[in-house]
Amino acid sequence: MPVNSFENYPMSWKPDKQSLKRPYYQFIALQLEHDIMNGFLAPSTKLPPQRELADYLDLNFTTITRAYKICEVKGLIYAITGSGTFVAPNAAHSITISTDKTANYIDLGFVASFEQTNTIVTEAIQKVVNKNYLDQLLNYNDPTGIPHQKAAALNWMEAFGIKATQDNVAIVSGTQNALTLALASLFEPGNRIATDFYTFSNFIELAKMLHIQLIPIPGDQFGMMPDELEKQCSQLNIHGIFLMPSCSNPTTVMISDLRKHELASIIRKYRLILIEDDIHAFLTAGILFDYQQPMYNLVPEQSVYLCGTSKSICSGLRVAYMVFGDALRKKISHGIFNINVKTSSLDVEVITELILSGKAHEIVQQKKQLAETVNDLYSSYFPLNTSGHPLCFYRWLPIHGHSNGVNLEADLKKLGIRVFHSDRFLSGHASSEKYLRIALSSTYSIDELNTGLKVLSQYLDNQKKC
């Protein structure tokens, strides 16, 4: 090992050489994780080059490479070819989004589902309770779903263009559960999944828990850019891709039909497993934009299509449909049997009753009307920010001069509103562009939403003047 000359050399991170223990790569990885999680290394800090750190510690270069790799898989750091390695923006804190601790705030953060329609759901519950086969809904049978419930699922998804059989459908406990099943069943720790640069924050946290590395891919107004995906696939061993084609969360981008075909070609070429979360397809299918068909139809043998009903029908029942190709059926079934055991058939029966009675479509129409109203209200405060789906349950608002998302969210909480900064949705490295995701479907009334948007608008106007 070389005798180093780094004692007084400025480095962003200097682990204690005297405390090094074997195996060195594990010790360095643990030390790096400790310093990130305890705030000694700030988000986006550029770490020492691997060779420089190896020289400083009198260790082999590959030792540092292995240590960095461990932390990269855990989502603590990320690398940019030609630029270096950096601390991940959200490495030290959870970005999971929930409804916790919102009692004193106007909630413009968590995206709920216009709960005003739940009176229709309670009527369906009463009908289910009175059915003569109620006791059959309380057992362990049919762990992937009772046949007539699967038939209703396919009926519901037919409007979105899904072409599948009951053998290729499983009913699970909500979209988040479906994502967990897909990741745990089809991927291994250390695998890489391509995602949009900004993506669903709970998916980011789930990948971090399962030690799956996310590879951020830039996009435009039509969705993820095919040439950027191709570039990363040619350089890295990428195993899968996660897309939200309808009202992508958080950006509201709609993936065009042409873009779907372009991405599907790359998915086939590199044999990627596609996880297609199409939870907002009900807002789009058959009426607006360029929604021709789901990507599942283009690459069925490599796809898992997720259709949650929490936004379209009822959030509290936690029901989602998974559609998958024959090649993936065995692994997904194995995951369901070992993770879920059984999704509540009673909850699923309520959704089934709503679908078969036509009441689900009535709920959707009411939610679309409410979505139109709140989007019009939003546009009255932010008239220059109307891109994306006009019925989306949230908006992606560009902001300027706010470099710290945590501080901005804290400032707005002091004013009585909760919003989420774009830093929460970063799948990889930081960005100079900043946004707020504004939920429009979670307040108790239109008047409350109006108050929240007014406070937000005034705050941002004041920030511009400072």
Report pLDDT for 1.
44
pLDDT by residue (tens digit) across 440-462?
999 989 999 999 999 999 999 98
Q: What is the DSSP letter of 75?
A: T
As given in the structure block, the two tokens for residue 4 are: 């180093």
As given in the structure block, the two tokens for residue 169 are 């459908």
State yes or no: pLDDT of 363 exceeds 90.
yes
Please name the amino acid found at residue 418: R
In this structure, are residues 301 and 269 in contact, taking their beta carbons and an 8 Å threshold?
no
Domain boundaries, the chain: 17-87, 106-117+361-465
- Residue 142, SS3? coil
Do the Cβ atoms of 395 and 252 come closer than 8 Å?
yes
Measure the CA–CA gap between 183 and 189, rounded to whole angstroms.
10
**pLDDT at position 296 over 80:** yes
For the chain, first and last CA: distance in Å?
Answer: 54
Domain 106-117+361-465 has CATH 3.40.50.1970: no
Q: Is the predicted pLDDT of residue 6 greater than 60, yes or no?
A: no
Contacts of 260 (CB under 8 A, 6+ apart): 223, 245, 292, 293, 295, 298
Say what angle helices 345-357 and 359-381 make with each other, to 10 degrees. Answer: 90
With contact defined as beta carbons under 8 Å apart, do 422 and 436 qualify? yes
Q: Does the model's pTM come out above 0.85?
A: yes
**How far apart (Å, rounded) are the C-alpha atoms in residues 268 and 295?**
12
| pLDDT class of 59 with cuts at 50, 70, 90 | very high
List of residues 6+ apart from 45 with CB closer than 8 A: 12, 13, 86, 87
Return mean pLDDT, the chain.
Answer: 91
Contacts of 383 (CB under 8 A, 6+ apart): none
One-letter amino acid for residue 213 of the chain: Q
pLDDT tens for 153-197 read 999 999 899 989 999 999 999 999 999 999 999 999 999 999 999
Burial class (CB in 10 A: 0-12, 13-18, 19+), 83: exposed
Query: Average pLDDT in the 212-228 region?
Result: 95
**And the tokens for 87?**
């601390």
Answer whether residue 306 shows pLDDT above 80.
Answer: yes
Q: What pLDDT is attached to residue 98?
A: 67
C-alpha neighbours within 13 Å on the C-beta side of residue 141: 9
pLDDT single digits (tens) 254-293: 999 999 999 999 999 999 999 999 999 998 865 555 577 8
Query: 169: Cβ–Cβ under 8 A, 6 or more apart, which residues?
Result: 144, 145, 150, 153, 154, 321, 322, 323
User: Has residue 102 got a pLDDT over 60?
Assistant: no
- Give me the pLDDT at residue 71, please: 92
Q: What is the DSSP letter of 339?
A: I
User: Which of the four CATH numbers 1.10.3080.10, 1.10.340.30, 3.40.109.10, 1.10.10.10 does domain 17-87 have?
Assistant: 1.10.10.10
pLDDT in tens, 106-155: 999 999 999 889 999 999 999 999 999 999 999 988 999 999 999 999 99
- How far is residue 405's CA from residue 105's CA, in Å, rounded to a whole number? 18
